[in-house]
Structure 1
Amino acid sequence: MAVQVTTTWLGEMRFESTNPSGHNLFIDAGEDNGGKGEGYRPKALMLSALAGCSGLDVASLIKKMKLEVDDFKIEIEANLTEEHPKYYDKVAMHFHFYGSDLNEKKLQRTVDLSIEKYCGVMEMFRQFSELDVQTHFHSK
């Protein structure tokens, strides 16, 4: 299945990028790199893609398994190499689940299925990063 994205220069350091969903996004450099900070930074966008990919998997599995979860979030911390080309060589991903009746075993299974089987972005990150995935449960 081919996916097409078109990214168009809007002048200075700003770009607009299409998405197959029909929603466009803007990319811009920070002021320290000649931009105005009016869009996403490309490398940080990769981390959002990783969290979004895995998050969609987990949300779908929560629904399928009929699990009780009040809320969940994914926090990512990544180390950027010093030399060019700079890339993320270490990525720590923390899943946080909140609720009064959390089934920790099944929720851990949703995370495991996402990171081991379903999340294609995770598989891409495995090619260049050392990954550390942790799950945290917060009872209300």
Structure 2
Amino acid sequence: MKFYLKENGMRIDLDYGELSISGNEEYGYRPFQLMVASIVGCSGSVFRKILEKQRTEIEDMTITAEVERNPRVANRIERISLHYSIKGYQLNKEKLYKNLELSRKNCSMIRSVESSIKIEETLDAIELNR
């Protein structure tokens, strides 16, 4: 990966498009937003694959992330709370939590930061009728 200096941050050209990074939201994504997005994207993708393999039928999944940062230590990320809202059919909340634990073990982004950032996960299962 090759990053380039720009007036108010950095940029990288990826197959999907250009990504601008800046400490100022007016000029690009803030680094902490990208960190949280990486964790959510990885976790959500792994979780979805596990649910598909187990033939758990979901219609929708949203993940809300709350971030706690420490302004005394370079505004570092201390905690990320992820809340999954899953809409589907014949959902078993206990099984969903077990699959969430499995996804955590297989998410490279969570595994990369788990010793320095506390990551908490909760979920709601919303049962849909056919």
- Relative to the length of structure 2, the TM-score reads 0.85
Q: Which amino acid aligns with 2:21?
A: I
Higher mean C-alpha deviation, range 63-72 or range 93-102: 93-102
- Structure with bigger strand share is 2
Where do residues 92-103 of structure 1 align in structure 2 (5 Å cutoff)? Answer: 92-103=81-92
Partner of 2:79: 90
Q: Distance in 2 between matches of 1:84 and 1:131?
A: 18
Partner of 2:23: 29
Question: For residues 13-59 of structure 1, what are the alpha-carbon distances to aligned partners after superposition, in whole Å with 9 as ceiling and x for unaligned?
Answer: 1321245xx234111232xxxxx613211011100000001011011
Q: Contact 1:68/1:103 (CA < 8 Å) preserved in 2?
A: no
The equivalent position to 1:138 in structure 2, one of 116, 126, 130, is 126
Structure 1 unpaired stretches of 5+:
31-35
Q: Distance in 2 between matches of 1:106 and 1:62?
A: 10
- Relative to the length of structure 1, the TM-score reads 0.80
Shift of residue 88, structure 1, vs aligned partner? 0.9
Q: Which amino acid aligns with 1:16?
A: R
Q: Which amino acid aligns with 1:95?
A: Y
Q: Distance in 2 between matches of 1:121 and 1:82?
A: 23
Structure 2 unpaired stretches of 5+:
none
Partner of 2:3: 7
Asked if 1:72 corresponds to 2:37, the answer is no
The equivalent position to 1:104 in structure 2, one of 78, 85, 93, is 93
Q: Contact 1:69/1:101 (CA < 8 Å) preserved in 2?
A: no
Runs of 4+ in 1 over 3 A off after TM superposition: none
Partner of 1:63: 52
Q: Distance in 2 between matches of 1:18 and 1:55?
A: 24
Q: Number of matched residues?
A: 127
Shift of residue 111, structure 1, vs aligned partner? 0.8
The higher relative CO (CA closer than 8 Å, separation ≥ 6) is in 2
